[in-house]
Amino acid sequence: MNYTELLSEALFIRRYNRFFADVETASGGLLTLHCPNTGSMKNCLVPRSPCWYSRSDKPSRKLPGTLEQVTTTFGNRAGINTALPNKIVREALSENLIPALSDYPLIRSEVPYGDENSRIDLLLTGSQRDCYVEVKSVTLDMGSGLALFPDAVTSRGCKHLRELMAMAAAGQRAVLFYCVQLSDVDRVSIASDIDPEYAQTLTKAVALGVEVMAWQCLLTPSGVSLLRPLELIV
């Protein structure tokens, strides 16, 4: 997934509510950007650390740009745009870069499904069984190569797990795909101390046949793409 133009570098100053972040540009000016991540962004908000943003001149937008990448507490680069993982994974699927999900000719995004008014991120069809793929953005850097999910209590995350379990029980493939937008990471685990209910539900989901996979992204100023599968400690 390529940005429309190269990202600009700045210094992260503060995120003063979940939609707005102030940065200091190279020329020393203060710029308010849209923050495309409404989560807690734990370990991703380090004052005066390097960050990168995209510019937009769309007349419909109120802010001049979007915060895309930041530096974590441990000095790693994190992609914080929660809209990107779906695009990145879809792109990788259409290029057959994910061996475990390579036999599906048809890919659709945001398809309504389940009993709780949900939409599945990606529905893969055209093979023997349909494959429901829920993509999660992982940005919680714990240092020493470890990334965790979630970074805050996520009732929607539990809801998505329940929907995936229902799909698996109905005989379809159900996949939870952790898209890890972090540099210098080699394994992913579940933050059971942050959201015990999510951890329990995930254990149940795995036992019921929901497949879980985690891939690291390559983050550059020109774009983000899937890089390699990561060890998953569930």
Partner DNA sequence: AACCAGCGCGACGAGCGACT
Partner DNA sequence: AGTCGCTCGTCGCGCTGGTT
CA atoms within 13 A on the CB side of 3: 22
> What residues contact 41, with CB distance under 8 A and at least 6 apart?
15, 35, 70, 80, 139, 151
- The answer to whether 107 and 122 are in contact (CB under 8 A) is yes
The reply to whether 162 sits near DNA by the rule CB under 7 A is: no
Find the binding residues for DNA in span 15-54 (CB under 7 A): 17-20, 34, 36, 38-40
The reply to whether 181 sits near DNA by the rule CB under 7 A is: no
Question: What is residue 64's three-state secondary structure?
Answer: coil
Q: Find the part of the chain contacting DNA (CB under 7 A) among 14-22, 45-53, 95-103, 123-131.
A: 14-22
Burial category of 135 from C-beta neighbours within 10 Å (exposed 0-12, middle 13-18, buried 19 and up): buried
Burial category of 165 from C-beta neighbours within 10 Å (exposed 0-12, middle 13-18, buried 19 and up): buried
Find the binding residues for DNA in span 127-156 (CB under 7 A): 152-154, 156
- The least distance separating DNA from the CB of residue 44, rounded to whole angstroms, comes to 12
Measured CA to CA, the distance from residue 184 to residue 8 in angstroms comes to: 22
- In 10 A of CB 46, how many CB atoms? 16
Measured CA to CA, the distance from residue 14 to residue 36 in angstroms comes to: 14
Nearer to DNA, 91 or 184 (CB): 91
Among 29, 58, 99, 115, binds DNA (CB under 7 A): 58
The reply to whether 77 sits near DNA by the rule CB under 7 A is: no
Enumerate the β-bridge partners of residue 218.
225
Total chain residues near DNA (CB under 7 A) = 31
Q: Find the part of the chain contacting DNA (CB under 7 A) among 2-10, 107-115, 183-191, 215-223.
A: 107-115
The reply to whether 227 sits near DNA by the rule CB under 7 A is: no
- The least distance separating DNA from the CB of residue 13, rounded to whole angstroms, comes to 17
Among 82, 125, 189, 225, binds DNA (CB under 7 A): 82
The reply to whether 193 sits near DNA by the rule CB under 7 A is: no
Residues binding DNA (CB under 7 A): 17-20, 34, 36, 38-40, 56, 58, 61-63, 66, 82-83, 87, 109-112, 117-119, 152-154, 156-157, 160
